């Protein structure tokens, strides 16, 4: 292999490492965390980064990850992930891997007529070199760098030395790798402060200074101890104040938020160390006041929605209680039966709203709803045929607008089976559910008397069946089939699309199969 070539596409960094190297799970985790946080190095050095790992066949390297800077022009127009290169084709990689040192020698390369300087940084974990990061910097700009850019470049050099020494990413006291902060945490361009080994500010970018001005700073940052100053601007008490001073002073690799009455500033500290001493720290800042305000508004909105579901549930239960009282006062059996059926229908809807009132969003685990409906209907079965309805399989998570009509459909089908299908010798009434891609398949089986001869579900005047057919084919956009169960009894089959919550299909309301 004498030149670069591209491997077949691999879905993820982990899969690419497994396919090309013999690194173990701990090594893969280390590299995952490094790659999750190396945007920091790319932005500080205005450079493209490529992570090269030695291939298990010993013939060269494979590029498993790539990162472009957000602070400057890219040196690569193409994606290099999956590319293989032979030993000797990129000599700096060989030197960095074999000698375990950062290599900057060599003349710039021309890529698309743009000069690019390459630097190779060995990636150390413990006493082993796992791979090499190539740092590729476009040299298209020839102007004198600003103080901000010089601070970025110096910080990038310190960070590169930490990677080569196995000091980055950071590890906890137990030896576990500390994961990188999530998206939304401060980035290099949001605001940067450079601290010396004592935690004193030696440089603050304009964005960082503005963030501290909004916190109430009336003086300059440079020359002040950032931990002490931060604790004074956002007064807290006890351990919280001590942790704030330590993190803002650059001693702990952590993120935190500084909150005053009007402003919230996210802060992230990245200590810079050598094997011999603590060198200082980079502190990244971002004004997240608007973000936190929107989050609080969403929390308030979610709480309001849950409260509405709770009140709707209470109102439905009140309606059900009134209907139940009215049914007891009636002497006509048909009228009493009609009101009792209405009570059960209202009850199934109340169960959905009760579940949504404690759900963190508008989706809910529908198995819980089905189980509660089964318990509610179990008391309806006659003394002679004491069948306990049960669920098999799982419905999974469904959107609230799909859950309400589906709970009513199951209530009607189960009630229909208990009233018209189950006999004294019946032992089976089961609801089966499974997902097939974006379709939910549901079966309701009983081993009762089965369908009457010549029964036409479409022409049936049964109110429960009419409700089922309307909800399944109209509201849910699904399919309905009812027929004989193998071995005796009745089987009702439903196919409900679930990929977009409530899937409406009103164009063909008559595509149900045989009714029940």
pLDDT digits (tens, 9 = 90+) for 330-364: 888 888 878 877 887 787 778 777 777 766 667 88
Partner residues linked to 195 by β-bridges: 201, 281
Question: Is 232 a residue whose pLDDT tops 90?
Answer: no
Give the mean pLDDT of the chain: 83
Please report which confidence band the pLDDT of residue 505 belongs to, taking 50, 70 and 90 as the band edges.
very low
pTM score above 0.75: no
Highest mean pLDDT among 68-82, 86-100, 391-405, 442-456 belongs to 86-100
Angle (deg, nearest 10), helices 463-470 and 333-357: 30
Please report which confidence band the pLDDT of residue 516 belongs to, taking 50, 70 and 90 as the band edges.
very low
Question: Is 321 a residue whose pLDDT tops 60?
Answer: yes
The residue among 236 and 288 whose pLDDT is bigger is 288
Q: Worst-scoring range by mean pLDDT, 73-87, 160-174, 447-461?
A: 447-461
pLDDT score of 513: 36
* CATH 3.30.450.280, applies to 5-164: yes
pLDDT score of 317: 82
Could you give phi then psi for residue 259, rounded to 5 degrees? Answer: -125, 125
Q: Which CATH architecture has domain 188-287?
A: 2-Layer Sandwich (3.30)
* DSSP letter string, 240-296: HHHHHHHHHTT-S--EEEEE-SS-EEEEEEEEEE-SS-EEEEEEEEEE-HHHHHHHH
Q: Tell me: the pLDDT tens digits for 238-285?
A: 556 678 888 999 999 988 888 888 899 999 999 999 999 999 999 999
User: Topology of 362-516 in CATH?
Assistant: Heat Shock Protein 90 (3.30.565)
DSSP code of residue 511: -
DSSP code of residue 472: I
Q: To the nearest 10°, the Cα dihedral for 121, 126, 130, 133?
A: -20
- Cite the DSSP H helix spans in 86-216: 91-99, 147-164, 206-215
CB 281 within 8 A of CB 270: yes
Could you give phi then psi for residue 316, rounded to 5 degrees? Answer: -65, -40
Please identify which residue in the block is written with the tokens 């030896």: 175
What does the pLDDT average to over 441-463?
Answer: 77
- CA neighbor of 450 nearest in space, from 474, 479, 424, 421: 421
The tokens for 200 are: 């004193």
What does the pLDDT average to over 193-218?
Answer: 94
Question: Is 501 a residue whose pLDDT tops 90?
Answer: no
Q: Worst-scoring range by mean pLDDT, 256-270, 387-401, 407-421, 500-514?
A: 500-514
Euclidean distance between the first and final Cα of the chain, in Å?
69
The tokens for 466 are: 């009419």
pLDDT score of 310: 77
The residue among 5 and 447 whose pLDDT is bigger is 447
pLDDT score of 224: 95
Question: Is 216 a residue whose pLDDT tops 70?
Answer: yes
DSSP code of residue 200: B
pLDDT score of 318: 87
- Residue 285 to residues 43, 95, 185, Cα–Cα distance (Å): 15, 37, 8
pLDDT score of 238: 55
Express as a percent the part of the chain with pLDDT over 70.
85
């Amino acid at each position: 292999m004498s030149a670069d070539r591209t491997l077949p596409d691999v879905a993820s960094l982990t899969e690419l490492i497994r396919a090309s190297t013999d690194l173990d799970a701990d090594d893969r985790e280390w590299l995952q965390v490094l790659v999750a946080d190396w945007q920091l190095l790319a932005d500080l050095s205005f450079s493209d980064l490529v992570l090269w790992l030695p291939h298990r066949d010993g013939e060269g390297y494979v590029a498993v990850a790539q990162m472009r800077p957000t602070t400057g022009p890219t040196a690569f127009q193409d994606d290099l992930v999956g590319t293989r290169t032979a030993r000797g084709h990129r000599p700096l990689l060989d030197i960095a891997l074999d000698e375990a040192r950062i290599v900057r020698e060599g003349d710039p390369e021309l890529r698309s007529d743009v000069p690019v300087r390459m630097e190779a940084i060995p990636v150390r974990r413990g006493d082993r070199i796992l791979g090499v990061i190539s740092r590729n910097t476009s040299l298209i700009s020839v102007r004198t760098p600003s103080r901000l850019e010089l601070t970025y470049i110096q910080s990038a050099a310190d960070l590169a030395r930490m990677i080569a020494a196995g000091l980055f990413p950071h590890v906890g006291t137990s030896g576990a790798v500390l994961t990188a902060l999530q998206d939304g945490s401060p980035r290099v361009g949001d605001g940067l402060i450079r601290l010396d080994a004592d935690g004193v500010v030696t440089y603050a970018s304009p964005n960082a200074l503005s963030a501290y001005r909004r916190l109430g700073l009336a003086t300059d940052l440079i020359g002040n101890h950032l931990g002490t100053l931060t604790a004074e601007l956002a007064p807290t008490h006890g351990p919280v104040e001590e942790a704030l001073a330590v993190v803002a002073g650059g001693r702990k690799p952590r993120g935190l938020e500084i909150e005053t009455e009007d402003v919230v500033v996210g802060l992230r500290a990245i200590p810079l160390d050598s094997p011999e001493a603590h060198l200082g720290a980079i502190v990244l800042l971002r004004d997240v006041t608007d973000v936190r305000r929107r989050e609080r508004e969403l929390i308030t909105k979610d709480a309001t929605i849950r409260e509405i579901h709770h009140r709707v549930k209470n109102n439905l239960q009140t309606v059900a209680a009134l209907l139940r009282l009215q049914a007891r006062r009636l002497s006509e059996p048909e009228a009493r039966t009609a009101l009792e059926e209405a009570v059960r229908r209202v009850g199934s809807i109340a169960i959905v709203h009760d579940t949504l009132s404690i759900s963190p969003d508008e989706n809910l685990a529908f198995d819980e709803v089905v189980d509660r409906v089964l318990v509610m209907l179990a008391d309806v079965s006659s003394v002679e045929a004491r069948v306990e309805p049960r669920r098999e399989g799982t419905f999974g998570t469904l959107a609230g607008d799909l859950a309400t009509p589906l709970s009513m459909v199951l209530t009607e089908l189960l009630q229909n089976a208990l009233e018209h299908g189950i006999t004294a010798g019946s032992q089976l009434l089961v609801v089966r559910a499974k997902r097939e891609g974006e379709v939910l398949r549901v079966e309701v089986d009983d081993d009762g008397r089965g369908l009457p001869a010549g029964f036409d579900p479409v022409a049936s005047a049964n109110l429960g069946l009419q409700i089922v057919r309307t909800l399944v084919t109209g509201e849910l956009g699904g399919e309905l089939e009812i027929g004989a169960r193998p071995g005796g009894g009745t089987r009702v089959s439903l196919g409900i699309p679930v990929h977009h919550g409530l899937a409406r299909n009103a164009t063909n309301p008559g595509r149900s199969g045989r009714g029940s």
